[in-house]
Amino acid sequence: MATFTWNGYFGGSRAWTSIASNTIVFCGSTTDITTPITVGSMNGATHIGNGDPGTDQCATNHLRNVAWVSNTQFALDGGGTETLNDTNLIATECTLQILFTDASSVATSNARVYCFNSTTSTTFAPGVIAYGFQQGVSDTSWTKINDATGSTGGDNAGVRLDLDAQGAATDHTFYVALSAGPQSVGSKGDFDFGIALTYS
């Protein structure tokens, strides 16, 4: 049976750990998961919460926070601006490690990560701008995967993060950085990420 596992690099002793039924929470504080992000700004911190947002599940070390600065720049964990590439942003600094496993050795194609409204995979998330980046494939720029002001997002060509195809194996690993911010005031509960691919 094919399965996806979403892992974050966090915990008492940082390691790739499943977020299980918890959620990724973008907020404005490294210490308070309930602190909102100012409209027009990007994530100041990224946590694992047991709700929207619920309580912080990160333990001592929080999920890595990769914030969009420009289409070719990022800031890691509140640090200075860096050029976006595989040297400056290594795998263990990404928001997620997404594992796809199957009992049989399979190849993957048409893999993509998208942002949607929590209900319909092809519908954008309201009130949010979001970006994605795949580490380890020599990319050097973010992909805008949601822009509520332009009514774009969801699992639609041109507005999702396309992931590189991978050859036959039982385990496939994708390292993905995500960054988001509000475009309007208020809670953003209708805001989720998804992944899909073809395998054979």
Q: How many domains does the chain have?
A: 1
1 band by pLDDT with thresholds 50, 70 and 90: confident
For 72, residues 6+ apart whose C-beta sits below 8 A from its C-beta are: 83, 84, 140, 141, 142
State the pTM of this model: 0.97
> Is the pLDDT at 135 greater than 90, yes or no?
yes
Exposure on the CB side of residue 195, measured as CA atoms within 13 A: 21
For the stretch 149-160, pLDDT in tens is 999 999 999 999
Q: Nearest 5°: CA angle at 29, between 128 and 11?
A: 100
Neighbours of 129 (CB within 10 A): 23
CA 14 to chain centre: 18
Supply the range of the domain harboring residue 143.
3-199
Exposure on the CB side of residue 39, measured as CA atoms within 13 A: 9
